[in-house]
A and B are shown apart, each in its own frame.
Chain A
Amino acid sequence: MSVLLNKDSRIIVQGITGKTGLFHAMGCRDYGSKVVGGVTPGRGGQTVEGFPVWDSVTDAVKKENANVSMIFVPPFGAADSILESIDAGVELIVCITEGIPVLDMLKVKEFLNKTNHRRKTAGQNMIRLIGPNCPGIITPGQAKVGIMPGYIHKVGSVGIVSRSGTLTYEAVHQTSELGMGQSTCIGIGGDPVKGMEFIDCLELFNNDAGTESIVMIGEIGGTAEEDAAAWVKKNCKKPVVGFIAGRTAPPGRRMGHAGAIISGGSGTADSKMAAMTAAGIRVAPSPAEMGSTLKALLAERGGRA
């Protein structure tokens, strides 16, 4: 079992004729994902590395029955690409692009919310956006839609959700090394305004029969981790391990991710860790101990690792 993505997902790549887009389209296909084509306006009808190229997302959805889109369009065009996918009704949109202006993302979020509201009334599935500025999503052994190194993952039952790319790899590596694999790993991205939040992912993991425990990796800035902790306390039946990066970050500075700024005393690592602990989430004392903390927690609970 898994969430959002499985071996049957039909994936297209927006920006497939760019160097990065093509490289990762091939990487995902090599991993076993069903990459059914790509979109580059004006290049419709061509083929690159065996991938059919379409002029628009609507064309790709119609011809290839695509239900997942992975976006590698440069920052100033990426918001438009997300909007196009929402408009075409693609149910899972994964935007890898880093550096999209925040005001562009506000419009995307607004349109996504309105569209989902309409779809809900019509009894249709919700459209999910992962990212931007994220490594993507992977269901080990089935499919990957993103830029993560596939081989460090192992089929298993740990659900991982994270705001950071490489720190997710660290958690994956640690859990794999300790003999625990992953059900699905979702990198929600480091931007302040984004698609799926922690709570959306936790809810999916909580309801997924294939996920037995959860690792949640946050960062300084914003209050998403505090909100997620409150949600876990109220709703989550599964053991959760947490980590927050940026304990030692100076206030007011942007630490690489646009979202990672502490301001006015809120969004600090300490307040996030306190909220997690209060919610029954076991906080890993260091980034090197996410896997071992989970293993110890599962042993205490008598669960299967």
Chain B
Amino acid sequence: MKIHEYQAKELFRNAGVAVPRGIPCFSVKEAVEAAGTLAAQGVKAFVVKAQIHAGGRGKGGGVKIAKTREDVEPLAKQIFGMTLVTHQTGPEGKLVKRLFIEEATPPKREMYLSLILDRDRGCVSVLASSEGGMEIEELAHTNPEKILTLPVDPSTGWQAYHSRKLTSFLGLSLDPKSPGNLAGQLHTFMDKLYAMFVAKDCSILEINPLAIIGEGESSKIIALDGKINFDDNALKRHPDVASMLDPDEEDAAELEAAKWDLNFISLYGNIGCMVNGAGLAMATMDIIKHYGGDPANFLDVGGGATAEKVREAFKIITKDKKVKAIFVNIFGGIMKCDTIAEGVIAATKEVGLKVPLVVRLEGTNVAKGREMLEKSGLAIISASSMSDGAQKAVKAMKEGL
């Protein structure tokens, strides 16, 4: 699960990680009030930031500086409700429904920092670069020597020597008497950030830019942006994080599927798929493509699905207007073929069947499942194998009912 910048910064602040002062707003009126509140705290200049999950907001015109409190309102009006197009939103863009009004903290220096669950090393790794504001993937490609990777042993956690390595790599002084003691600040920052990453079961956390602001003794290390992805498997033990989900950022069909504990992802094609098992579901998409079709979705109904769950899954697929044919591909292990048949029949009775339906059943209780479908009187095209089914689905999609 992903969250907004303002939510990430709230988690940072609660963990004791330095961030600028800021207030999230859900209307232009709230933005004006927020500017007033911050001004009362002594803030002179502001940043008005669009809150959408995609990156590249600045370049797309979703981040503006307000030099005075009065400038906040026109900028908020401009950004709130705009359709923001960035390299990550796709050409259709994303409607801005939330703003973040923050104190402007002009950076003296910008750096890059991220923490990732490093599957290859089996630990949390910290990535850093003295080049801030850049796409890290691009930098990894062009100048890999400019990126520091620090794997952190899970049994030791973040240690002071990690901080010293990081401090030196970023070209900062290790002398505690240097102006502002940035080395000491960075250690506190990292120690708390790492603890938060582990405590909240994050999977990726990115701060780009990590900045140094202020001069001399008043120099500060601060997170100017924040992006966090969480491990979905752990969400149930973090209700505070789970409640940060923004339904506007999620696909409606995917949210509906999540309610039924279905693994569902919307895609761009027109052949709806219902499969059991993630690997088989991916392979089903592949084989549809192999025969010249395009899958409309990824859907894994899971191992122990009930007829009710199958019915809901089927309804989600048929709701999609793009879908011109449906391919049900089941290899029953735990999942029984008669359960699938029962769910499919119940769903078609409820919502009707407006597009061709190809069904391939194999595995546990296959004879019973096939018999139920035959007796249902539904116009089902039955397939003898996965490839037969995919070919029939592609053909049916072209010819229609």
Report A's interface with B, CB cutoff 8 A: 20, 75-76, 99-104, 106-107, 109-110, 135, 147-149, 152, 162-170, 173, 190, 192-193, 217, 219-220, 222-223, 243, 245-250, 253-260, 264-265, 269, 285-289
Asked whether, in the complex, the Cβ of B233 is within 8 Å of the Cβ of A101, the reply is yes
Asked whether, in the complex, the Cβ of A220 is within 8 Å of the Cβ of B203, the reply is no
Asked whether, in the complex, the Cβ of B201 is within 8 Å of the Cβ of A164, the reply is no
Interface residue B105 (Cβ < 8 Å from any Cβ of A): no
Minimum CB distance partner of A250 in chain B: B267
Asked whether, in the complex, the Cβ of A20 is within 8 Å of the Cβ of B233, the reply is no
Asked whether, in the complex, the Cβ of A257 is within 8 Å of the Cβ of B233, the reply is no
How many CB-defined contacts (below 8 Å) exist between A and B?
164
Choose among A109, A257, A264 the residue that contacts B278 (Cβ–Cβ < 8 A).
Answer: A257
Q: Could you write out 28 A-B pairs with CB less than 8 Å apart? A: A75-B233, A102-B119, A102-B203, A102-B234, A104-B234, A106-B123, A107-B154, A109-B122, A162-B279, A164-B283, A165-B279, A165-B280, A166-B331, A168-B279, A192-B117, A193-B122, A219-B282, A245-B282, A246-B285, A255-B263, A255-B278, A256-B263, A256-B300, A269-B286, A288-B287, A288-B385, A288-B386, A288-B387
Contact with A along B115-128 (1 / 0, CB 8 A): 00101101110000
Asked whether, in the complex, the Cβ of B283 is within 8 Å of the Cβ of A245, the reply is yes
CB neighbours (8 Å) of A149 from chain B are 332-333, 363-364
Minimum CB distance partner of A264 in chain B: B137
CB neighbours (8 Å) of B284 from chain A are 287
Interface residue B334 (Cβ < 8 Å from any Cβ of A): yes
B interface, size bucket: 35 or more
Contact with A along B205-237 (1 / 0, CB 8 A): 000000000000000000000000001111011
Given contacts A250-B265, A258-B232, A287-B283, 12 further A-B pairs with CB under 8 A are A76-B236, A99-B233, A103-B154, A103-B198, A110-B153, A164-B280, A166-B279, A169-B363, A250-B267, A253-B265, A253-B298, A289-B387
Closest CB in chain A relative to B157 CB, distance in Å: 12
Report B's interface with A, CB cutoff 8 A: 117, 119-120, 122-124, 137, 140, 153-155, 198, 201, 203, 231-234, 236-237, 263, 265, 267, 275-290, 295, 298, 300, 303-304, 331-334, 362-364, 385-387, 390
Asked whether, in the complex, the Cβ of B278 is within 8 Å of the Cβ of A190, the reply is yes
Choose among A20, A103, A264, A285 the residue that contacts B117 (Cβ–Cβ < 8 A).
Answer: A103
CB neighbours (8 Å) of B333 from chain A are 135, 147-149, 165-166, 169
Minimum CB distance partner of A169 in chain B: B331
Asked whether, in the complex, the Cβ of A255 is within 8 Å of the Cβ of B334, the reply is no
Closest CB in chain B relative to A247 CB, distance in Å: 5
Asked whether, in the complex, the Cβ of B287 is within 8 Å of the Cβ of A287, the reply is yes
Known contacts A75-B233, A102-B233, A149-B332; A166/B282 CB under 8 A: no
CB neighbours (8 Å) of A135 from chain B are 333
Known contacts A165-B303, A165-B333, A245-B282; A265/B386 CB under 8 A: no
Q: How far is the CA of A258 from the CA of B263 in the complex (A)?
A: 11
Known contacts A109-B122, A135-B333, A173-B362; A102/B117 CB under 8 A: yes
Asked whether, in the complex, the Cβ of B201 is within 8 Å of the Cβ of A103, the reply is yes
Choose among A110, A173, A219, A256 the residue that contacts B331 (Cβ–Cβ < 8 A).
Answer: A173
Asked whether, in the complex, the Cβ of A76 is within 8 Å of the Cβ of B280, the reply is no
Q: How far is the CA of A168 from the CA of B331 in the complex (A)?
A: 10
Known contacts A76-B236, A110-B154, A110-B155; A248/B285 CB under 8 A: yes
Asked whether, in the complex, the Cβ of B154 is within 8 Å of the Cβ of A246, the reply is no
CB neighbours (8 Å) of B265 from chain A are 250, 253, 255
Closest CB in chain A relative to B173 CB, distance in Å: 33
Asked whether, in the complex, the Cβ of B282 is within 8 Å of the Cβ of A106, the reply is no
CB neighbours (8 Å) of B203 from chain A are 102
Closest CB in chain B relative to A255 CB, distance in Å: 5
Asked whether, in the complex, the Cβ of A249 is within 8 Å of the Cβ of B282, the reply is yes
Choose among A148, A192, A264 the residue that contacts B119 (Cβ–Cβ < 8 A).
Answer: A192
Q: How far is the CA of A259 from the CA of B233 in the complex (A)?
A: 12
Q: How far is the CA of A217 from the CA of B137 in the complex (A)?
A: 28
Minimum CB distance partner of A246 in chain B: B282
CB neighbours (8 Å) of B390 from chain A are 288
Known contacts A76-B236, A148-B333; A165/B277 CB under 8 A: yes
Closest CB in chain A relative to B202 CB, distance in Å: 9
Known contacts A102-B203, A103-B201; A260/B331 CB under 8 A: no
CB neighbours (8 Å) of A287 from chain B are 280, 283-284, 286-287, 386
CB neighbours (8 Å) of A173 from chain B are 331, 362
Interface centre among A103, A192, A260, A288 (most CB of B within 10 A): A103
Asked whether, in the complex, the Cβ of A254 is within 8 Å of the Cβ of B363, the reply is no
CB neighbours (8 Å) of B331 from chain A are 166, 169-170, 173
Closest CB in chain A relative to B50 CB, distance in Å: 21
Minimum CB distance partner of A217 in chain B: B279
CB neighbours (8 Å) of A152 from chain B are 363
Minimum CB distance partner of A243 in chain B: B283
CB neighbours (8 Å) of A243 from chain B are 283
Interface centre among A166, A192, A255 (most CB of B within 10 A): A166
Closest CB in chain A relative to B270 CB, distance in Å: 14
Interface centre among A76, A106, A220, A250 (most CB of B within 10 A): A106
Q: How far is the CA of A245 from the CA of B234 in the complex (A)?
A: 26
Choose among A102, A110, A167, A257 the residue that contacts B283 (Cβ–Cβ < 8 A).
Answer: A167
Choose among A170, A190, A249, A258 the residue that contacts B298 (Cβ–Cβ < 8 A).
Answer: A249
Closest CB in chain B relative to A173 CB, distance in Å: 7
Minimum CB distance partner of A150 in chain B: B333
Interface centre among B232, B263, B280, B290 (most CB of A within 10 A): B280
